[in-house]
Structure formats: C-alpha cells, structure tokens
Amino acid sequence: MENYFSSDFKLGVLGGGQLGRMLLAETQKFDVHTCILDSSKDAPCAPYCNEFFIGNLLDYNDVYRFGKKVDVLTIEIEHVNIQALYKLEEEGVKVYPQPSVIETIQHKGKQKDFYKEKNIPTSPHQRFDSLAELKAANLTEFPFVWKSAQFGYDGMGVKIVRSVDDINNLPDTECITEDLIPFKNELAVIVARNADGKVKTYPVVEMEFHPEANQVEYVICPARISDEVAAKARRVAMDVANAFKHVGLLAVEMFQTENDDIIINEVAPRTHNSGHYSIEASHTSQFEQHLRTILNLPLGNTDSKLAGIMVNLVGAEGYEGNVVYENITDILKIDGVTPHIYGKKITKPFRKMGHVTIVNKDINIARKTAELVKNTVKVISK
C-alpha cells in the first residue's frame, strides 16, 4: 500500500467549495498533501490546502494540467471536464469517482436511463433535446417534474410543470420530464465504496425542504421511518453503488412512496449536504470516509453515536453583500450545537453559507433545538 501520510503523495481535488474545505479538515488530520483547483481565488478551500491553483473546472486543459500534478484525483462537484478525466485515467492517474461514473451522473437523462437499464426503481421519464422538442410532444398529463439535463443544483434547474403555460416559460435546454410521484418522505443514504469493492451505508436520513427555495432546511438522522423501510432504503442505495461500481462516496436521494416502496430520485458522486450531520453525530464523518474510499483504506464505522440534525444556514432574503452572522453566540450557549461557517465572504438570498449540527440522545429534543437554531441565527449583510 502506498504511503499517503506525511509523504510526497499528492491528492488533487477539483473544486474548492465548502465540501472541499470540510474534506481538508480530514486530510490535515492524516497529513495528506492536498492540491485544489477552483476558478475563484477566494474559494473556501484556498487558505487550507497545501497548493491552490486557479482554473476552470470545465476546461480540458486546466483540468488535464492540474491532474498531471497529482497521484489521485477526486471531485467535490460533478460539473467538471470529463474528457480530461478520461485522458488522465488512461495515463495512469487514479481518478475517483471514475470518469465513466461522473459522466453518467452529471447528465440527468443518462442517469435515469442507467437506472432503467439496471432495474433500479425510479420514476418514469422522457428525454428531450430542446424546448421545441418538449413542446412538440404535446404532453397533457399534468403536473410533472421538469429537470435541466445538466448543471442543476440546490433546486436550480428543477420545476413542477402544472400547465401548458408553464411549459412555455421553461428554459430552452436539453431536459428530462418525470412523473410526479406522491411520496411520504424524501430520504437519503450515503454509501461508501472503495476500490476493493468493500461497501458500507450510513443510516437513512430524512430531509425537510424549504417550501419556496426547494433547498433542504433540516436533515434528520435517523429518519423517522420503520426499520423495514430503512433496511429497504439502505439495500437499494447499496444496489445503486454496486451497479455503478462507484469508488468514493455516493449520496443516494430517494422517495418513500405512499405504499412504502423506495424509488431513486437522483444521486451525487461525492460528499453531500445530507451527510453533514456525520461530522458530529457519526463514528466516521462522511469526509473522512470519502478519503478512506478513494485511497482504498479500510472503511470506517458508519454508525451514529447520537441522533443528529443538520440545519442549513442560507443567506436571508433581501440581503446581499459582506456577510454578518446575527445571534450566532446565542446558539453556542446550547448544548450539542456546533456551527460550521463555510468562509464565503459575500451573502446572497438562499446562498449556502454554513450549517449547524445539533446532536442529542433524543431525536425529538434535537428537532426542537434545530427549530430554535433556525429561528435564532440570521445570515444578513452589513
């Protein structure tokens, strides 16, 4: 096994956002040398990595040149140049998750086709190359879900279409439509899989969404569901990771239908918002686990030590500019509350600026505390 610790080994990360920043806490713990590529000199990772490079993640040359400097290359965002990753892989750089996996996942049409091909339960869908093609289909079954095929995130690029008028107002882009499935709960499972094919799943989490921004407000672990449904969700998530032969961390978002079936919504081939609770609540955080998977180290314990709830800190509406975290000292007085600030200096409405984890032996007490935290901290500007 290669010596990763206090050595000449270099780990490269495409993307310098908050996910990379939280990963760096783990690379520092293990003294793994890190190189980050991001387009902004003010990226959250910039002060904390060993080497920081400015470049465009979607530019072939920028990604290729960066990849040649490192021994293992990973991502903290899936919107990256795939052709460069294939070339690097061909030339002996270990790229995890693999370019073939990222290519399928970063395109929602290919992702949905993959589930159908592998008999993984998901909602029925159709693919369209343009708005004109979607209009020509004369769809009459409303409502349905519209998703941009690429570059959607945090509720961007997703709309519920309720009428022909709604179709006329959609962006002109390659897209998919999905049947709108009635569901009881929106769930997620983080799956860790290393190059040896060893797989572990984290407990099922339940997500509560902001009604307007379509962003997660609370991530609740464990999900308040039956043991049978939880076991089914973990099994389906593991099936997805094995079908991809994915190396790394895979966040599997799913719906619990009214009949208690589990169907896949979509996946992210990286650490994920739905796993942030694990930093305080789990034996092994998702960020340490990601490091273990891509370096093919033994996987850590995925069990929770306590119930955990994560609250997103997002920019308040009506504020844009230099960020101020109002009342943050008030929540620091509460037992089991830990804020994480992402280092973004400028706030905008609904921009993810940080999160707060609440841990407690009792999930109900944790949930009440989470609401108190949500109503106390305000992310505003000067």
Binding residues for ATP: 108, 147, 178-181, 186, 265-266
Q: Distance of CA 239 to CAs 33, 181, 252, 274, 286, Å?
A: 33, 21, 10, 19, 19
Please say whether the beta carbons of 371 and 334 come within 8 A. no
| Cis status of the peptide bond prior to 222, with omega within 30 of 0 | yes
Nearest-CA neighbor of 36 among 284, 343, 356, 354? Answer: 343
Kindly report the backbone phi and psi dihedral angles of residue 220, in degrees, each rounded to the nearest multiple of 5, phi listed first: -115, 125
Residue 115, CA atoms < 13 Å, CB-side half-sphere = 22
Can you read off the two tokens belonging to residue 357?
A: 């984890």
Polymer length in residues for the chain: 382
Residue 235, CA atoms < 13 Å, CB-side half-sphere = 9
Question: DSSP states of 103-131 as a string?
Answer: HHHHSHHHHHHHHHHTT--B--EEEESSH
Annotated binding site: 108, 147, 178-181, 186, 265-266
Q: Which residues pair with 71 in a beta bridge?
A: none
Q: Which residues pair with 144 in a beta bridge?
A: 161, 179
- Vertex 360, ends 17 and 324: CA angle to 5°? 40
Question: DSSP states of 329-347 as a string?
Answer: HHHTTSTTEEEEE----EE
Please say whether the beta carbons of 54 and 39 come within 8 A. yes
| Own/partner pairs, 70-73, CB within 8 angstroms, 24+ separation | 70/10, 70/11, 70/12, 70/35, 71/2, 71/9, 71/10, 71/11, 72/9, 72/10, 72/11, 72/12, 72/96, 72/294, 72/295, 73/11, 73/12, 73/13, 73/14
